[in-house]
Chains A and B, each alone.
Chain A
Amino acid sequence: MSVDLTTIWAFIIAFAVFAYVVMDGFDLGIGILFPTFEAGPERDRAMNSIAPVWDGNETWLVLGGGGLFAAFPLAYAVILPATYPLITAMLLGLVFRGVAFEYRWRDPGHRALWDFAFTGGSLVAAMAQGMILGALLQGIEVVDRAYAGSWFDWLTPYTLLTGLGTVAGYTLLGAAWLVWKLDGESQDHARRMGLRAAWATVVLLGAVSLYNVFLNAEYAARWLTEPEIYLAAPVPILTAIVAVSLLRALRRERHSKPFWLAIALFFLGMAGLGVTMWPYVVPPGITIWDAAAPQRSQVFMLIGVAITMPLIIAYTAWAYWVFRGKVGHEGYH
């Protein structure tokens, strides 16, 4: 494996997807947890904690999708038709979730309706994203550079499992974020929900991993044969350590530690995904090199990424810094 432009681009896309999953993950998780918070000040504070940043968080999804289109057009052209109903469901879920941020303040008479749209949209988007990942991992049938399956191939017990795992994981991220941003009763509530979500995440992550290893010979080979096992083994071991620390932190911590540990858990999940899929972008047939855009496209975009990405990270960090600290009871006045 040499480090070529295509490999660099695979890592850039993976970074965008990871940034999206973590950053919009906690937004969506808060949406999923929303009904468990009391209508009124509790919900307002939960939403205010992400109101200034959710839009930037969601932009990483556009970079993930747009970046895939640009850097691996064939993968984009195969995955999207293959998961067509899931993509549609995800987009419509994000429509409801996104407008709810504005509408619920605009229309107190229908606030319950838009709160429901916020939760429903978040849940549908999270489930759909998890199932898209599952559909990708279970393999996509391709003939002649085009999707060759039928329009319900994505619906299997395995994709339902990855969907639920993603919902649990996002809920964990959302709860951990709220532990950091809230205080008092609401924070206690967030910690309790976080603990449940953490257990659910760990169990589902384990189930998906076992499913991968036992039901797919090629994936099993990556994880269980020598010499790959020495490279791959640290991932589950570290995951176990992080999971234990996370569960302990959620029982005690009142600040940011559970959130960072939840991110670490997602990072290890992403690393595991990398071990499982590499070097395929669309298992079982399309590698990153098969799908890669020509070098001129890669170079042109890499220049753009090199210039803009540090700036994007800097002003995104600044925006988070501006709204740092616990969310006040009076909202952003």
Chain B
Amino acid sequence: MFDGSDALLLARIQFAFTVSFHFIFPAFSIGLASYLAVLEGLWLKTGKPIYHDLFKYWLKIFAIAFAMGVVSGIVMSYQFGTNWSVFSDVAGPVIGPLMAYEVLTAFFLEAGFLGVMLFGMERVGRRLHFAATLMVAAGTFISAFWILSVNSWMHTPTGYEIGANGQFLPGESWFAIVFNPSFPYRLVHTVLAAYITTAFVVGGVGAWHLLRDSANPHARKMFSMAMWMAALVVPVQIFAGDLHGLNTLEHQPQKVMAMEGHYQSHPDGAPLYLFGIPNDEEQRLDYAVGIPKASSLILKHDLDAPLAGLDTIPDDEQPPVGMVFWSFRIMVGIGFAMLGIGMWSLFARWRRKLYEWRALHKAALVMAPSGFVAVIAGWITTEVGRQPWVIYNLMRTADAASPLDAPAVAASLLAFVVVYFAVFGAGVWYILHLMHKPPHAGEYGVKRGDKGPIRTAGITPGPTQDPSDESKRDLSGGKHEPEDAP
């Protein structure tokens, strides 16, 4: 019923499924942890309770997103061994230590300070609590650093030797391994993507509440902050993405050929295809619509520069063009739509209509989840685009899998699919439920106890929350925490 190629395909689907699902959460929590640190820092600096309210509003959401990221992340740390054991054995000496560093410098940091960040305000005071928030935010970034170094090494392996037993062994310099050629670009592009993804979620939630009550000061504040991010960071991201693409052209040209739909070589200027149906069998782009010579202009900064196509690559070393071609267009399309929102928000600010322009709010609401789509599309572009290699030009994906029977892989894949949709579906539902509640003065934090509706008091402010009163206490450094009222 099954043969080896089925087991391989199932293992690939399983990895793609678990890693895509997992990455949704860090893409959000990397940005949200930093946003929380900014909010708490602003609260400490200015004493304005609105920042504290927003901090507590997003902290509740962060707690759920982070928990989902942790449990889906632990799955990833074992996927290498369960489904890709040959890869693990062969590449372990090089990438294993980087992942160990991720655990030592990032995971413990996040997890160790998370408890204090969520529950410890009253017990440690504001300054130490802020330090804990900073540690969690730093942990999310450090984690991205190491895991992207590992991923980048698999794309652009450097600094290794091949051992007598066939293992990849570290060369003399770990620097050459960690800072492999594609790593700086991938790190910047991915971390900016996480920040932008979070900004559009925050902006979308702000827009949603502005649509319901355009005077809500908390909604105004979060919308404004998010739109600044959209206006300022999206252009930087487009620039960074372009640099990343040029780096890919240098190190993984066939991936760029697939992204561009260039089956044929173009000796005197390659067109930029906007649309087309990739046809791998015939090795051509059907129904192609393109701008002559524009691809050469973008990639080589010269209209007439020659660009090689997939006809220069052996058939068994070509990536599947369709997925790469389309996922790349989805990512870029969303990127430019985000740029449009950012520019629109600047115009609205200039016209002093940022909080009243309902069309802008509706557009921002529609774009709220777009970061997740763009991020997943970007990963599909880069990961499918490096096929058939798992370690570029050195080890084929087909040679990396565990010696497992297809039914075993199929059964575990099915279990992951069912559990992930049920569990993370519920989590996303709870997050949406929290986002639906308007942010307000005297926001509750992450509280849990045995007396009644601890986390459901969305509408009624706590008894002691007089904002002016709170800010006075803030300035005097008093120990009473308004959110700790029963």
Contacts and interface: CB of A to CB of B under 8 A. Distances in A.
A85 interface: yes
Contact of A69 (B81, B101, B122): B81
Interface string B102-119: 111101111111111011
Contacts of A266: none
Contact of B71 (A44, A81, A99): A99
A84 B404 contact: yes
Interface string B80-105: 11100110110111101101111111
Given A300-B174, A308-B105, A52 B119 contact: yes
Max chain B C-beta neighbours (<10 A), residue from A71, A73, A96, A319: A73
B120 A108 contact: no
A106 B430 contact: yes
Max chain A C-beta neighbours (<10 A), residue from B86, B88, B434: B88
Nearest to B163: A294
Max chain A C-beta neighbours (<10 A), residue from B93, B113, B403, B484: B93
Nearest to A56: B111
Determine chain B's interface SS by DSSP, over half rule: helix
B444 to A, nearest CB: 10
B412 A84 contact: yes
Contacts of A61: 74
Contacts of B71: 94-95, 98-99
Interface stretch (A156-164, A221-229, A309-317): A309-317
A241 interface: no
B108 A103 contact: no
Contact of B100 (A67, A92, A332): A67
Contacts of B447: 331-333
A205 to B, nearest CB: 27
B278 to A, nearest CB: 35
B351 interface: no
B115 A95 contact: no
A330 B74 contact: no
Contact of B107 (A52, A62, A73, A99): A62
A107 interface: yes
Given A58-B70, A107-B430, A88 B412 contact: yes
Contact of B99 (A69, A80, A87, A95): A69
A184 to B, nearest CB: 13
B104 A63 contact: yes
A308 B169 CA distance: 24
B116 A322 contact: yes
Given A66-B102, A98-B70, A147-B85, A312 B112 contact: yes
Contacts of A332: 119-120, 447-449
Contacts of A74: 89, 92
A145 interface: yes
Max chain A C-beta neighbours (<10 A), residue from B85, B416, B451: B85
A171 interface: no
Max chain A C-beta neighbours (<10 A), residue from B77, B99, B115, B122: B115
A105 B85 contact: no
Contacts of A151: 404-405, 408
A228 B67 CA distance: 47
Interface string A12-51: 0000000000000000000000000000110011011001
Contact of A85 (B114, B167, B408, B423): B408
A150 B108 CA distance: 36
B103 A62 contact: yes
A77 B96 contact: no
B96 A73 contact: yes
Given A62-B77, A294-B93, A77 B88 contact: yes
Contact of A323 (B102, B107, B123, B486): B123
Nearest to B114: A55
B96 A146 contact: no
Contact of B115 (A55, A66, A77): A55
A186 B405 CA distance: 48
A77 B89 contact: yes
B89 A323 contact: no
Contacts of B451: 330
Nearest to B407: A151
Nearest to A150: B405
Interface stretch (B259-267, B290-298, B452-460): B452-460
A65 B107 CA distance: 13
Given A70-B92, A296-B169, A52 B115 contact: yes
Contacts of B88: 69, 73, 76-77, 80
B122 to A, nearest CB: 7
A59 B139 CA distance: 13
B120 A52 contact: yes
Given A69-B92, A304-B105, A332-B447, 9 more contacts: A45-B450, A63-B107, A73-B88, A80-B88, A92-B415, A294-B163, A309-B104, A319-B113, A333-B447
7 contacts: A52-B118, A70-B96, A77-B88, A80-B81, A85-B408, A92-B419, A151-B408
